[in-house]
Structure 1
Amino acid sequence: MSSNVATRTIRIGSRKSQLALVQTHWVQAELSKAFPDITFEVSTMETQGDKILDVALSKIGDKGLFTQELEDDMLSRKVDFAVHSLKDLPTQLPEGLMLGCVTEREDPADALVVHEKHQDKQLDTLPEGAVIGTSSLRRLAQLRHHFPHFKFKDIRGNVNTRLRKLDDGEYDAIVLAAAGLNRLDMSDRIHQLLPAEISLHAVGQGALGIECRSGDEDILSVIKVLEHLPTAQRCYAERAFLRELEGGCQVPIGVNTGIEGDTLTLVGIVASLDGQQLIKDTVQGAPADAESMGKALAQRLREQGAQEILDVINAQNRS
């Protein structure tokens, strides 16, 4: 680390949502412990995704929905790096920016949260016609595939807003990321963790991604102390898979990864919106080959018909 960074103030960019601030303040606290002589300040802003709450995410279509304003501030040097839920960070970053660090992953699973009248039920015992809330096409497609007898309804807003809508009776159950509930100290609301056989999670779900200016060695030398290599390798494989398929939040693509010994396993799916088609496959290899594994799995799924599914969805999104 150069001497000038050891005495300077470093500015961290964050969204204003409660979860974003919890995550950013955790990063701030960990870096302050590691570098007690550096002052870390948090600068907050609302992104487009925070402002547009009356339209389904899949209809907005901008892959930088929750990141663009933060990225603009990094490029103009108003902030030095930004903390994201990695699942919100596009796989193609603007010129001049890079993914500088991936933190240790929380549980990446999807979580079922139920209305109090269904406390005695699990996902597979909810009544026919139960209204399930989700804003994710990935969750929607997989749940439709396994539970075509449910009704599905879009839900937007921060975690507290969604829980209030559930508790007010607008939904019988909603599906959220377990990691977000854990970070908000709301793990008591997790009724059931959905197994991978039912719902593969989003690319990067459960991990934080710290984005910074490309080649900013001073900042990289600071944030790298939070890097968790096994999580990073898993997420690099997932992001390469998604990048190769050119999918964003408006495409039902799910993953699951694990490292056992010197073997990285990557499972991926592409599903049609109605849940009728679900193409799934697995690759294994060395963790160091994570990116090439992601590309290889994407190619496998393409050969099995994934591209046709994606072409239909992309045409629908454009119309």
Structure 2
Amino acid sequence: MEKLIIATRGSQLAMWQAEYVKSELQKRFPDMAIEFNVITATGDKILDKPLALIGGKGLFTKEIEEVMLSGGAHLAVHSLKDVPTELPEGLKLAAITERDDIRDCFLSHKYRNLDDLPEGAVVGTTSLRRQMQLKSLRPDLVIKNLRGNVNTRLRKLAEGQYDAIILAYVGMKRLGLLESVPYHEPIDDDVMIPPSGQASLGIEIIDDPEVAKIAETLNDPDSALAAKIERDFVARLEGSCQVPIAVNAKVGEREVLGRAMVGLPDGSEILREEMALPKEEAESLGIKMADVMIENGAKELLERAEAMAFKEERCERL
């Protein structure tokens, strides 16, 4: 293939990810020209509402997928956590890059960590998953919506609009921004379970054998196994854009450990599940965990969670 076009969002983090994939592909295919098609997604334009209200994470992939299907790109680089479990016909998820640090990160100009926050402190996050776990840990905290790109969020924190904010640790690390905040601390993933796909890149491609062969050189088998387990779990629960779901699969040499949590946004009711399987049997782990949680009432709980989340506004499915 003489030229490959990569579709990407234009945010600083998205461009870092696209440049990383480009550099990795150039190592493998030094004679192939690689260009970017930079797209502004709806999720980057609407910044005055919680993401769950305007269609969920699919807003970061929808326009990119339309460009790919119209012939404007061969391949797209996504944060895997933003990729819906169902893809449009004609596109497929061809590779999962090696997973980086999965943890969320506590950031503050005044307080060292979650335990140091005073009663009634204001914490910024748009994630219902983070809100659920924060309120479970600290019911006294005030959770305030936080939108915008990483630099916008950090500016709002520096201006004192929040006592602390929670972002993905890997994004802060990749952009070299950790030292810009006086107090920054990763939150142990036993304390706050991450979302499906956190810290991996998802390589989405048009359904073309030549493009598939190129993309598959980026695939990390263990990260792909973890992604399948986590995405199967979410798909089985049929979670909407307004439900808090946390799920993580840790792939070891011989065993895979899955952990999951669903509940109400205010943290007042939570279901947890933990399950381990031998690595050779682990592809079914996400389905098995979901089925146990469904038996324990997870779908009914998520229906209530959807009714509770942003109950004064409706979820716009774009």
TM-score, length basis structure 1: 0.93
CA contact (8 A) 2:108 2:165 kept: yes
Q: Does 2:162 correspond to 1:168?
A: no
For residue 75 of structure 1, report the CA deviation from its aligned partner.
1.0
Q: Does 2:237 correspond to 1:255?
A: no
CA contact (8 A) 2:263 2:305 kept: no
Distance change in 2, residues 1:196/1:262 (3 Å): same
Q: Which residue, out of 198, 211, 223, partners 2:204?
A: 211
For residue 248 of structure 1, report the CA deviation from its aligned partner.
4.8
Supply the AA of the counterpart residue of 2:66: D
**Matches of 1:101 and 1:304 in 2, distance apart?**
33
Supply the AA of the counterpart residue of 2:125: T
Q: Which residue, out of 106, 120, 124, partners 1:133?
A: 124
Q: Which residue, out of 83, 101, 109, partners 2:77?
A: 83
**Matches of 1:101 and 1:187 in 2, distance apart?**
28
Q: Which residue, out of 174, 177, 183, partners 2:168?
A: 177
CA contact (8 A) 2:113 2:185 kept: yes
For residue 223 of structure 1, report the CA deviation from its aligned partner.
1.4
Q: Which residue, out of 108, 111, 128, partners 2:105?
A: 111
Distance change in 2, residues 1:314/1:126 (3 Å): closer
Q: Which residue, out of 283, 286, 297, partners 1:294?
A: 286
Considering only aligned residues, what root-mean-square deviation do their CA atoms show, in Å? 1.5
Contiguous gaps of at least 5 residues in structure 1: none
For residue 56 of structure 1, report the CA deviation from its aligned partner.
0.7
Aligned to 2:135: 144
For residue 249 of structure 1, report the CA deviation from its aligned partner.
4.7
Q: Which residue, out of 168, 171, 184, partners 1:191?
A: 184
Q: Does 2:62 correspond to 1:71?
A: no
Q: Which residue, out of 268, 273, 283, partners 1:281?
A: 273
Supply the AA of the counterpart residue of 2:25: L
Bigger mean CA offset, 259-268 vs 181-190? 181-190
Q: Percent identity?
A: 43
CA contact (8 A) 1:143 1:198 kept: no
For residue 31 of structure 1, report the CA deviation from its aligned partner.
0.5
**Matches of 1:149 and 1:61 in 2, distance apart?**
29
TM-score, length basis structure 2: 0.93
After superposition, where does 1:43-58 map in structure 2 within 5 Å? 43-58=37-52
**Matches of 1:34 and 1:193 in 2, distance apart?**
33
Q: Which residue, out of 77, 92, 106, partners 1:98?
A: 92
- In the alignment of these two chains, the number of paired residues is 309
Q: Which residue, out of 251, 254, 258, partners 1:266?
A: 258
For residue 316 of structure 1, report the CA deviation from its aligned partner.
4.8
For residue 288 of structure 1, report the CA deviation from its aligned partner.
4.6
**Matched position secondary structure for 1:191:** strand
CA contact (8 A) 1:57 1:250 kept: no
For residue 62 of structure 1, report the CA deviation from its aligned partner.
4.3
Aligned to 2:26: 32
CA contact (8 A) 2:102 2:189 kept: no
Distance change in 2, residues 1:142/1:85 (3 Å): same
**Matches of 1:290 and 1:99 in 2, distance apart?**
20
CA contact (8 A) 2:253 2:279 kept: no
Supply the AA of the counterpart residue of 1:53: L
Bigger mean CA offset, 247-256 vs 71-80? 247-256
Question: Deviations 1:144-183 (Å, cap 9, x if unpaired)?
Answer: 0110111110000000000000001000100000011111
CA contact (8 A) 1:137 1:249 kept: no
CA contact (8 A) 2:79 2:201 kept: yes
Supply the AA of the counterpart residue of 2:104: D
For residue 209 of structure 1, report the CA deviation from its aligned partner.
0.2
**Matches of 2:280 and 2:199 in 1, distance apart?**
21
For residue 198 of structure 1, report the CA deviation from its aligned partner.
2.2
**Matches of 2:297 and 2:189 in 1, distance apart?**
22
Aligned to 2:306: 314
For residue 262 of structure 1, report the CA deviation from its aligned partner.
1.8
Bigger mean CA offset, 51-60 vs 288-297? 288-297
**Matched position secondary structure for 2:95:** strand
**Matched position secondary structure for 1:226:** coil
